[in-house]
């Protein structure tokens, strides 16, 4: 056991106290030094690359899938297709229905053909001749029943035939009048509406048939392949998840005293743990107008209980080195 003299204890105590005072003074200076005196601001954040969940707009059985996880795709590439047979049948049926409704509309719009009208006139003449014969027959039966030369039954039959021929002639004349006048405007408009409904149904069937193909909306990398061929999927069921390489964003947070130091458009250097000596260049693109609690993903524990403002930094990453969620350090040059 080491025994210290009173003088040695005094010097040790004085040294420790002095170091503590110096450390406290240095910390106080760091805490109280105005932020605008710094030449740069250091923030911590995470890479936030956009992702798109791709799905069919219609449901059905997947027939083929053409890409695997990690494959690069270009905008417009065919990624997958559904079994088209049900949609082709629906399209064909809608096409036939439209043809039928269009023909019906044109018949009402243009009216009867001259040959049809002439046929109606001939029928009127035929009915007129039949009525004249019925009138002669009835008058003869009427005279004979008065003289007792015929039975009541013959008279009744002649009268019934006369009434029937009058009704048939009246119907033939009405049909001829309608044929000559043409269709009423309300009937034409009604058939037009039916035709347009059939046309819309055909267009919908055409769109559904086209939506059996799933295309890449933009250039990117297949992050996940969720389904496989022969899987029956419903509308909006995710088949692929596509990562979009551009633009690349970094999400970070500013404390309230730092808010006035950063403005949109300021230059930012983004450092990764992989290449700390080769920063990526970027610029501040967005500063949230609303404060929020610091999320748990922020790297510095001192900030986790503070109210902060979210910022978004757009980063140039031509080689695709940044990955979703990657932690990064940001240095924003102040005063520029």
Q: pLDDT digit string (tens) for 187-230?
A: 888 999 999 999 999 999 999 999 999 999 999 889 999 999 99
What is the DSSP annotation of 40-90? EEEEEEEEEEEEEEEE-SS-EEEEEE---TT-EE-TT-EEEEE--HHHHHH
| Higher-pLDDT residue of 18, 121 | 121
In a domain, 8, yes or no: no
- Structurally, the chain folds into a number of domains equal to 3
The yes-or-no verdict on residue 100 having pLDDT over 50 is yes
- For residue 258, the domain's CATH number is 2.40.30.170
Mean pLDDT of the chain: 82
What is the per-residue pLDDT for 244?
A: 85
Residues 72, 102, single domain; the answer is: no
Domain assignment present for residue 314? The answer is yes
Percent of the chain at pLDDT > 70 equals: 78
If 0-12 CB within 10 Å is exposed, 13-18 middle and 19+ buried, where does residue 77 land?
middle
Query: Domain check: are 263 and 305 in the same one?
Result: yes
Q: What is the pLDDT of residue 323?
A: 81
State the pLDDT at residue 285: 87
Q: Is residue 22 part of a domain?
A: no
Is residue 178, in this structure, part of any structural domain at all?
yes
Q: Which helix (H) or strand (E) holds 127?
A: helix 114-147
Q: Is the pLDDT of residue 335 over 80?
A: no
The pLDDT score that the predictor gives to residue 299 is 52
Same domain (yes/no): 79, 108: no
The answer on 278 and 237 residing in a single domain is no
Q: Say if residue 231 is in the same domain as residue 254.
A: no
What pLDDT shows up at residue 34?
45
- Enter the pTM of the model: 0.58
259 close to 320: Cβ distance less than 8 angstroms = no
pLDDT at 256: 80
Q: What is the CATH number of the domain that holds 110?
A: 1.10.287.470
Same domain, 199 and 111: yes
Whether 30 is in a domain gets the answer no
Q: How confident is the model at residue 181 (pLDDT cuts 50, 70, 90)?
A: low
Whether residues 74 and 93 share a domain: the answer is: no
Contacts of residue 177, Cβ cutoff 8 Å, sequence gap at least 6: none
Residues 104, 146, single domain; the answer is yes
Mean of pLDDT values over 297-306: 55
Given this model, what pLDDT does residue 117 score?
Answer: 62
| The pLDDT of residue 242 | 93
For the residues 272-288, what does the mean pLDDT come to? 87
> Range of 117's domain?
89-207
């Amino acid at each position: 056991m080491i025994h210290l003299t009173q003088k040695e204890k005094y010097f040790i105590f004085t040294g420790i106290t002095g170091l503590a005072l110096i450390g406290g003074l240095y910390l106080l200076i760091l805490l109280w030094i105005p932020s605008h005196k710094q030449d740069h601001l250091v923030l911590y954040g995470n890479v936030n690359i956009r992702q798109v969940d791709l799905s069919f707009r219609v449901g059905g059985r997947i027939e083929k899938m053409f890409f695997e996880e990690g494959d690069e795709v270009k905008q417009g590439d065919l990624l997958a297709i559904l079994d088209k047979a049900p949609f082709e049948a629906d399209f064909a049926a809608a096409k036939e229905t439209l043809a039928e409704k269009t023909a019906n509309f044109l018949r009402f719009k243009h009216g009867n053909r001259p040959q049809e009208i002439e046929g109606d006139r001939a029928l009127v003449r035929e009915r007129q001749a039949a009525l004249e014969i019925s009138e002669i027959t009835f008058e003869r039966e009427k005279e004979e029943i008065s003289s007792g030369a015929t039975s009541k039954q013959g008279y009744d039959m002649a009268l019934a035939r006369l009434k029937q021929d009058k009704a048939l002639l009246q119907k033939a004349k009405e049909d001829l009048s309608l044929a000559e006048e043409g269709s009423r405007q309300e009937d034409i408009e009604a058939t037009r509406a039916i035709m347009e409904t059939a046309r819309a149904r055909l267009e919908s069937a055409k769109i559904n048939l086209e939506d059996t193909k799933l295309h890449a909306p933009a250039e990117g990398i297949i992050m996940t392949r969720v389904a496989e061929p022969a899987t029956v999927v419903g509308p909006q069921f995710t088949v692929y998840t596509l990562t979009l390489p551009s633009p690349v964003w970094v999400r970070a947070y500013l404390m309230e005293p730092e808010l006035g130091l950063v403005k949109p458009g300021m230059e930012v250097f983004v450092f990764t743990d992989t290449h700390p000596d080769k920063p990526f260049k970027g610029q501040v693109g967005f500063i949230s107008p609303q404060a929020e609690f610091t999320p748990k993903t922020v790297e510095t524990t001192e900030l986790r209980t503070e109210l902060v403002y979210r910022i978004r930094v757009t980063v140039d990453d031509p080689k695709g080195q940044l990955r979703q969620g990657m932690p990064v350090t940001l240095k924003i040059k102040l005063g520029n």
